[in-house]
Each structure stands twice: as structure tokens, then as C-alpha cells.
Amino acid sequence: MDTAKRTARLWLREQTKRGQRAARPAIALGLAGAAAAVVQAWCAAGALDAAIAGAAAPLGLLAGFAVLALLRTVLGLLAEQAAFRAGAAARRRLRTDALHRLLAAGPALLRGRHSGELASIVVDRIEALDGLFARYIPAAMLAVIAPALIVAVLLWFDGVAALILMGTGLLVPVAMALSGLGAAAASRSQFAALARLQARFLDRVRGIATIVMLGRAADEAVALGRAAEELRHRTMRVLRMAFLSSAALDLAAALALVVLALRAFAHGAAPGIALFELLLVPEFFAPLRVFAGAYQDRMQAVGASGPLAEMPPAPEPAPPLEIRTVEARGVSVAFETVNFTWDPARGPALNSLSFRVPAGETLVLAGPSGAGKSTVLEILLGFVHPDSGRVTLNGADIVTLVPAALSRLTAWIGQRPVLFAGTIRDNIRFARPEASDDEVAEAARFARVDGFAAGMQRGLDTQVGEGGFGLSGGQVQRVAIARAFLKNAPLLLLDEPTAHLDPVTEAEVLESLKRLTVGRTVILASHSAAAHAFGGRRLDLRDGTAAAPARGVA
Amino acid sequence: MTDLLRILALWRGRTFWLAFGILISLAALACGAAMMALSGSMVAGVVTGAALAAPFALRVLGPARVVLRYLERLATHDATFRALADLRVWFFRGIATSSAGGLGFRRAGDVLARLVTDVEALDGIYLRILIPLAGAVLLLPVLAITIGQIDPLAAVAVLLLFAASAFGLPLLSARAAAGLGGRLSTTGSALRVACLDALHGLREVRAFSAEGRMLANVQACESNLLAAQHELSRRGAIAAAGAFLCAQVGILVVLLAAGAHPAQAALLVLLAVAAFEAVSGLPRAGVTAGQAAGAARRVLEAAEHGPAVPDPAPGAPLPKGSALRFEGVAFAWAADRAKVFDGLTIDIPQGARVALLGPSGAGKSTLAALALKVVAPQAGRVLLGGADIATLPAAEVRSRIGWLSQATHLFDDTIRGNLLLAKPDADDAALWAVLEAAQLGGVVRTLPDGLDTWIGEAGARLSGGQGRRLALARALLSTAPVLIFDEPCAGLDAETERAFLATLNEVAEGRTVVLIAHRLTGVERLDRIFRLSAGRAVAAAG
């Protein structure tokens, strides 16, 4: 737990450092704005001074005020755009990096984690970091340098006033440290409390059907109200202390104004300088207020950083010399005493497994679930590498093949093929993006996709996948068969392709699959009786090893 | 904007607290403006008449402002917490009765999650929109009176600029944000879908070496989202810049006018500075309001939809028996969608163990929805113990029928908390009995916290099979005489599925069991099997 927190902290520190470089334009523009504000305050004070003396307003100063007003407006606009760009660039960089790592880590990831959870890291967690880069980092820098600039300028006019301003300014961090809570604690407790309530609320809303069906909606509504009320009591107790630190900022600002005013009043100082000082007070404290407001953004970033810090490692670029491909006309497969373990606690998945499949032949892997059928296919797909032993395709060790070359050799149909958001046509073309329309249509015909698509209003252009038309299990398998046909790879890997189909659909899908096997090397994993009528040799697996010598099936 | 007002109306009961927060915040604001104006007058050396009173007043105003600001923060946050509690309870009650309950039934978890985000967007209305707006409303007459007494012409100009900055520009930015709301949400969900596709389809992506294509697709979607966000940020920045410029011109006007009023010059300028600064955040509040307006519309739509199947005014008494019968039922989810059932008739006698089989898309889950009164048939009747369920209150029907499906939710709570949902007054012995029956007792006993083990979000700390067994234990804890298992093993691997179905054979002795599935594994113990096809049920041989 602690190491996880430390990793997250280190990661955030590293990101903050990068963010500081990216935030330079925003910081420079903010500083220029502060400088313009100082000069403008000087113009205003001068004009006022003249007015108090009953003189005509000096046009030069007023013109200066107007020009600086325009300049500050433009600088403000530019600073905001620069901040947005810094946030956008950081999100773009982090998202590409995260997705790159996840894609490189590959399908093995899905054994332990849910794709929805991973997607929410890539989308939501990274969105939540925007405030850190766009607001917090520039604000944190400006909270130090902008007040320093104002004090430096004021030193030149009135040393004592500058010291008063600096003293009250320093009061802010000192008071925060003394109160022992600080603005940090205020934001943190409020943020954490709200996050907890929100999580509970989301959980209950997601489970609304379960609650309604159990007849507990009224009770749960009351419980929700009670939880929120409790939360209010607890949070307000913390906030009563925590807001003291915000009060420190108010106190410092009020103190600066009152002390400067009283001092000028008592000494009968020149109104021009004194007014200049008063006008600088809000400018001096403005960056500190912005910083206090942006603290929330940092809290959000801390909350989001945990899972991002624990991404799988970035892939090493493939060594360019090791590119191996194999002759693509007919592929023979051999397993030589292969061992593989997913989880040491559950024993080996493959235990010294050896078998050969000559080019163009079919091997049916039989055996109960957990016997290692899927593991054999996942090794052949390159999702995982054997712990020991060799797997060869046409004699070449699979480990030496670059993923793209391996992918060219294999077509694969799993238990539940994934349809992507897009049309049925897009989903078939996924197998080979450069395929022509005719080739896609031929694949659809081969897999009898056109049959069920004809019944839909838009045919092959029907939207499927997330937010689209729901296809039945058998229809999805047909799309997968069309993909495999379009890809036209010499090695066909079938992982329980009919496990989730009803018997009638299973027979139909098997018939299409059988036509697909002609002229290819096929490995079919299945414990369905119907699939065993598929023909070819049969290998019974038990606990990751061949149970009996491979034998032919009538 | 009317939607926002309707949300505000929900908080009627909190009027006192909300108004109290606003009052304190106004007092703090007035104190600040007075402090600025007074100190300006003092340094200008124009308060000689009240030489002693002025410093004293300033010494009082300073601390008063600090204290008032502190109280303001407490009062407004307290009021916000009260308001957000009300909002959540109201929303929860709303979707529990409205068809969104049906949404949950149809596994639309993401739709619900998005609505929750919308509710969250409404939390800031009071603190970030209402409070600063109230401040602007207060300052307007203050400026009118103070400046108007000294220089009416300048007052008119300043008031116009102030109104533009405090009301006009925020309204414009609210409109702009509301207009962009649609684009932001479509580009946002496109990015989510692209990421989900790439990750959910990791196997396909690797098998077809589509990594580059998927990454490019996500990047393209991201660029669209960033462009929409950039547009929003640009409009917000322009509104803020406009407000800033208004403030600057206002101060310039006062500076120009000041020459004619030497005595009040400093007061005028510093009051203007303080007033404009107080409303400088409003254009940004306008952006928040624009976004909240869209959220308010969606939240109101979902929560005030009303029930899909209204309860009969005087509910008929609940019949003694619990035989279930579908009689010539016809149903389509929408008028323009194909009929799921057309003349469906099934008899499920009390205490029978029945399987309903059919390919996906044959409407198997719809059957459970009909029995549980989530939806009502367009023709035909559903009978429970001989009584048409249309004449029975939904809550009564549901008390007779237990339901377990893939959409059955496990709550981020303890094992005990999850079980008690079915029967709040059950004692530990009863809980252990159902855990044993679901063959989860052994596992729970080995956990250090036993029944008080926290199971994580959606039961994340349990394995898939254990989660389903916990849901089974909960279904068994309820005394419902009919149990509907709707694809109870969806998403489980074959071995876990068979083990779960074997457990199912041993439990629920004496209750009616309806198993809805796309196929049988061979381990199920059943009395009757029906096949669903073409909207009807056909008896099939066991």
C-alpha cells in the first residue's frame, strides 16, 4: 500500500516537473499581466492624485491606463489559451503513452483486469489531470513570482510599504503552517468526503434495479439521505478548522490594506504614492487566491495518479535485426516440452506439452476447462510466451517472430469475438484494412453474414458494437468467420468458437467453419461434442499435458 | 434555464439555510467594498472632518470582513451539503419509480453513471452561480446610489458596464456553453468508445496486429474532444476578457469623472475597483450555468419520467398461490421495433423447475421484465396465482418473485450488507444458512472479517463465481416463492458455470425455479423445458 503511494507520489512529481516546463508560456504571460497591472495602478494613482488636487486629469496617464487595460485583456486571453494548450498537450502525451503501454502489454492484461476499468483510466483519470497542468502548476509558480515582482517594484517607491506587503504576504504560508491544516487540509477533506458520497451514490444508482426488485427503494433513499447528513456533520467539523487557513489569507489582505491606509493617514503621505500602494494590495493577493482555488485541481490529480503510476512498462522498441518471417504457404506447428504457468498458486497450465501439426492438417484439442486448451492458442497467438520449451512455426521459434509477422500467419476466432463500434462492413474489413469492397462482400457471402444482414434496414452498413445494433451470438461468430476468411492466413486458431451458442446455431456455425478450414492448418480447442465431429486428429489434454497419444477421429 | 430553476425549486425546504448563506456573503462583500472605499478616502486626505472616526471604522471593518468571510464559507458550504443531499435523495426516488428502473434492468449501467455525473454538475449551482449573482444584484443599487449622488452621468455609464459584465456576458457565455454541450458529450463518448474498443478487443487487436490503427483512432477521437474543449475554453476566455474590459472602461470613466469631484475622487475609484472585482468571476459562472442547464434537463427527464407500468389505484389482494402463467402475451420494447413476443403462452406451476431456452435476441430477459412488472404486455396477461399482475401493486408482485441476472448488482458494502438488502431483519444464523446453501460459507469463514468483509466495487474483491454465489445467497434469503434466474452464469467460464448450476439444483427446495438460458449444460435438474422461438414458447423434451 505504502509503496503504491510512493510510486504515485514519485510519478506525480515527475509529471509536475514536466508540467512546469510546458507551463512556461502561461507563466510568462501571467507575469507580464502582473507587471502591466503594476504600471496601470501607477497610472491610476497618478490620475487620481491630480483629481484630488483639483487639477485636470493628465491625459498621458489616462491614455497609458487605457492602453494597459487593452494590453492586460490581450495578455489574459493569451495566458488562458496557453494554459489550455499546456493541459491539452499533457493529456495527449499521457493518453498516447498509457494506451501504447496497454496495447503492448496485450491480451494477458484482460485476465486480471476489466477492460472498462482500463478504459476509464485512459479516459477519465487522464481528463482529471487537466487541472494540474492547465491551472495548478502555473498558479503555483505565479503565486510566488508575481507577488515578489510587486514587492520589488514597491521597494523602489516606498521601502516600508513594500516590507508591510511582504510581511502580510508571508503571513499566509506561516498561518497555514501554524494552523497545522492549511488550505490543503480543507480541500483534501472536502474532496475526499464528496468523493465518498459520490461513490456510494453511483453504486446505489447502478444497482437501482436490484434495489427496486427487492422492494428496498424507500429504505435506501432514507439511508442515502442519512449518509449525506452524517457526511455534512463530519465534514463541517473539519471545515470549521480548515477554513481558518483561508481566513488567514483574508486576514493578511485586510491587514495589508488597513495598515497601509492608517500609515499613510497618520503620516499624511503624498496621496499619489499611498493610492498606488492601496491599488497594489488586490493585485498582490490575487495570485495567492488563484493558487488557493487551484489546490482542488492538485487534489484531483493526486486522486487520479495511482493507477496511472502503475501502468505496465513501456515496450522496448523491437530490435530491427531480428525480423524473422516464415514461408507463408502452409504452416506446420510444433510444441516441444512446453511449460507455462499463469499463476503459481494454481499450478502449471501447460506441463511439458509436446505435439506436432503438419501443414494443412487439423488438430482438435479436447479436454475439460482448465486443461490448457486456451493457453496453447494464446501462446500461438503470441499473447504470452512459454516459460520453457519451444514452440515453432515451420521450424522457426515463435519467440523470434516479430508480432506483425506472427499476426500475418494466423487467423483466430475466439469464444466471444469483439465487435467494434462501426458498421458490419467495417468490422469485417478490420481483418485487412486494405481489402477492396468486393473482397469484403465475398467474405460476407462466404460466412453467410449477408444472409442476416439482408434482413436489416441498412444491410452491411448497419451500425454494430457499442451504441449500435445488438447482434446475436451466432451472428457475431459469422462476422468473425468473415474476418478470418478475409485475412486468408495459413494457420487458423479456433478457441471454443461455439461455446456460447445454442445447438441449432452451433451446427450452422460449425458448417461455415468447416469450409474455412480447407487448405489451412487448423487448431480447434473445444469440449463440445459437435465440434469433435469436425474431423482431423484429436489430442486430449488433462492438466496441461497430453492425456493419451494423439489419435485419429473417424 | 427553466430546468435550472426547477432544480432550485427542489431546494425549497432549505430556503432558510440558502438565504442565510447569501446574506452573510452579501455582508462580507459590503464590508470589503466599504473597506476599500474608506481607505481610499483616508489616504486621499479628504476625511479630515472625521479624523478620528475613520481609522476606527477601518479597524472595525478589517476584522469584520475576515470574520464574515469565514462565516460565509461555513454557511454556504453547509447549505451546499444540505442541498446536494436533497438532490441525490430526490433523484434516487425518481429513478426508482421511473422507467430508469427498467434501464438498470437492461444493464444500462453507463447511462446511469452518466446521469450521476450530471447530478454532480448541479452541486455547484448555489456556491458558484447563485452566490456571486446575489452579490452583483446587491452591488448594482449600491453603485447607483453612491456614484449617482456624485456624478449621475458617470453613474449611468458605470452601471451599464457593470450590468454587462455581471449579467450580459455571463448570459452569453452560458448560451455558448449550453450550445457546445452536445458537441462535448458526443466527442467525449466517442473517445470513450474508441478506448473501450481498443482495450475490450485487445485479443482481436493483437491477433490482427491492429495496434497502430487503434491508437490512431483514439488519437483522432481525442483531437475532436480537445477541439470542442478548446472552443469552450476560448468562448469562456473571451467572455472573461470582455468582463475585464468592461471593468477597466468603468474605472477609466470614473477616473475621467473624478477630476470634477476632488473630495470624492478616491472613494469613487476604489469603490469601482472593488465592485468590478467582486463580479469578475461571473462570466465563468455563466459557463458553469450553461453546462449545468444541460445536466439539469437530463436529470429532470430521467427522474420525472414516471413509472412505465403504473400501479392499479386500489390493488387487488395478493393471491395465495404463486403459479406463473403467461397468456397470449404480445410485447415490443418500442412501437417501431420488432415484437419480442406474439401470442406467448407458458404455464409454470407452483414449485416447478422450468428452463426457458432461446438464442440471444429471442427476448428471454424480456420475460423476466414482464413477470416483475418492469414492463407491461401490449396484449395478453401475466397471471400470478391466478390473478392478473396488472391488478396487483408492483411491490407486492416483486415480493413474490426473486430475481438473479447478470445485471444483479453487488454493492460496494460488506457481505452482510449485501445480504441484508433482501431481508433487513435476518439474523446471522439465517445469513450463514443461505451462504452455506449457495456453497459460499466455507470461503466466507476463511476471510478474516467473515460476514463483515468489504467486497469492493461491484464485488471486485470476489471472483466471478463467488460474486454470483453471493447474489444467489441473497436471492435465497428473500422468502419469494418464485425465483427467476436470467442467464445466471453469463460471463463465467464453463467450469464455474457447471459448478454454479450444480449448486442451483440443491437449493430452493419447494420454490418455483425459472432458469432462463441460451442452452443447457446437462447438469441442471429440471421438470420442464421450453424453447422460445418466433415470439412463442414450444415445449421441448428434457
Query: Best of A100, A210, A211, A279 to disrupt the B interface by mutation (most B CBs within 10 Å)?
Result: A210
3-class DSSP state for residue A523?
strand
pLDDT at B158: 93
Residue B3 lies in a domain: no
pLDDT at A16: 92
Q: Render A382-402 in DSSP notation, one character per residue.
A: TSS--SEEEEEETTEEGGGS-
Residue A284 has pLDDT above 90, yes or no: yes
DSSP A469: B
Same domain, B373 and B246: no
The C-alpha atoms of residue B382 and residue B186 are separated, in whole angstroms, by: 40
Output the pTM of the full model. Answer: 0.82
Task: Pick B43's closest partner by Cβ from A91, A278, A467.
Answer: A278
Residue B133: give its domain's CATH number: 1.20.1560.10
What is the maximum alpha-carbon separation in chain B?
107
Instruction: Output the nine-digit C-alpha cell for B249.
Output: 472602461
Same domain, B146 and B190: yes
Interface check A29 vs B, CB under 8 A: no
Please count the other Cβ atoms lying within 10 Å of the Cβ belonging to residue A322: 10
Nearest partner of A248 among A183, A203, A200, A157, judged by Cα: A183
Q: What separation in angstroms does the CA of B321 have from each of A193, B132, B349, B387?
A: 48, 62, 9, 9
Residue B59 lies in a domain: no
Check: CB of residue A133 under 8 Å from CB of residue A22.
yes
pLDDT 10s digits, A161-173: 999 999 998 888 7
Which residue of chain A comes nearest to B55, CA vs CA? A262
Instruction: Output the nine-digit C-alpha cell for B396.
Output: 407486492
Same domain, B424 and B509: yes
3-class DSSP state for residue B355?
strand
Q: What is the mean pLDDT of residues B18-26?
A: 91
Same domain, B370 and B271: no
Please name the helix (run of DSSP H) or strand (run of DSSP E) that holds residue B111, with its range, or none. Answer: helix B109-121
Q: How far apart are the CA of A334 and the nearest CA of chain B, in angstroms? A: 19
Interface check A268 vs B, CB under 8 A: yes
Residue B484: give its domain's CATH number: 3.40.50.300
Q: How far apart are the CA of B431 and the nearest CA of chain A, in angstroms? A: 16
The C-alpha atoms of residue B280 and residue B273 are separated, in whole angstroms, by: 11
Which residue of chain A comes nearest to B484, CA vs CA? A213
At how many degrees (to 10) do helices B282-303 and B131-150 cross? Answer: 140
The four Cα atoms A453, A457, A462, A465 give a dihedral, to 10 degrees, of -90
Q: What is the mean pLDDT of residues B290-297?
A: 87
Check: CB of residue B364 under 8 Å from CB of residue B519.
no
- Listed in sequence order, the residues at least 6 apart from B489 whose beta carbon sits closer than 8 Å to its beta carbon are B468, B496, B497, B500, B501, B517
DSSP A121: I
pLDDT 10s digits, B128-148: 888 999 999 989 998 899 899
Check: CB of residue B531 under 8 Å from CB of residue B540.
yes
pLDDT at B104: 53
pLDDT 10s digits, A251-266: 898 889 888 888 888 8
pLDDT at A553: 42
Same domain, B340 and B409: yes
Nearest partner of A116 among B493, B113, B19, judged by Cα: B113
Same domain, B92 and B185: yes
CB contact under 8 A, A261 and B273: no
Same domain, B299 and B418: no
Which residue of chain B comes nearest to A431, CA vs CA? B208
Same domain, B440 and B475: yes
Please state the length of chain A: 554
Highest mean pLDDT among A235-249, B79-93, B334-348 belongs to B79-93
* Overall domain count for chain B: 2
ipTM given for this complex: 0.86
CB contact under 8 A, A410 and B194: no
Domain span at residue B170 reads: 81-303
3-state SS, B449-510, equals CHHHCECCHHHCCCCHHHHHHHHHHHHHHCCCCEEEEECCCCCCCHHHHHHHHHHHHHCCCC
Check: CB of residue A99 under 8 Å from CB of residue A312.
no
pLDDT 10s digits, B356-387: 887 766 677 788 888 888 888 889 999 998 88
Which residue of chain A comes nearest to B199, CA vs CA? A115
CB contact under 8 A, B207 and A411: yes
Q: What is the mean pLDDT of chain A?
A: 84
A-chain residues near B193 (CB < 8 A): 421, 465-467
- Tell me if A2-309 shares its fold with A321-552: no
Residues 148 through 187 of chain B touching chain A, CB cutoff 8 Å: none
Classify residue A433 by burial, with Cβ atoms within 10 Å: 0-12, 13-18, 19+. exposed
Residue B54 lies in a domain: no
Domains of chain A by residue range: 2-309, 321-552
CB contact under 8 A, B245 and A69: yes
CB contact under 8 A, A203 and B358: no
Superfamily of domain A2-309: ABC transporter type 1, transmembrane domain (1.20.1560.10)
Q: What separation in angstroms does the CA of A481 have from each of A234, A440, A478, B246?
A: 59, 12, 5, 66
Which residue of chain A comes nearest to B532, CA vs CA? A502
**Span of A163-167, B171-175, B264-268 with lowest mean pLDDT:** B264-268
Same domain, B280 and B404: no
CB contacts < 8 A, A to B, total 397
CB contact under 8 A, B195 and A99: yes
What does the angle CA B396 – CA B397 – CA B399 come to, to the nearest 5 degrees? 65
Residues 135 through 194 of chain A touching chain B, CB cutoff 8 Å: 190, 194
Nearest partner of B105 among A209, A216, A203, judged by Cα: A209
The C-alpha atoms of residue B514 and residue B356 are separated, in whole angstroms, by: 7
Q: What is the mean pLDDT of chain B?
A: 85
Confidence of residue A241 (pLDDT cuts 50, 70, 90): confident
Task: Pick A73's closest partner by Cβ from B244, B374, B412.
Answer: B244
Query: Best of A205, A231, A249, A486 to disrupt the B interface by mutation (most B CBs within 10 Å)?
Result: A205
pLDDT 10s digits, B33-50: 888 888 877 777 655 545
No. of helices (H) and no. of strands (E), chain B:
20, 10
Percentage of residues of chain B with pLDDT beyond 70: 94
Q: What is the mean pLDDT of residues B220-238?
A: 93
CB contact under 8 A, A275 and B266: yes
Give residue A175's identity as a one-letter amino acid code.
A
Same domain, B295 and B333: no
Same domain, B412 and B458: yes
pLDDT 10s digits, B459-482: 777 777 788 889 989 988 888 899
Superfamily of domain A321-552: P-loop containing nucleotide triphosphate hydrolases (3.40.50.300)
pLDDT at A162: 92
Same domain, B263 and B368: no
Residue B22 lies in a domain: no
B-chain residues near A123 (CB < 8 A): 191-192, 195
Residues 191 through 230 of chain A touching chain B, CB cutoff 8 Å: 194, 197-222, 224-225, 228-229
A-chain residues near B189 (CB < 8 A): 467
No. of helices (H) and no. of strands (E), chain A:
19, 13
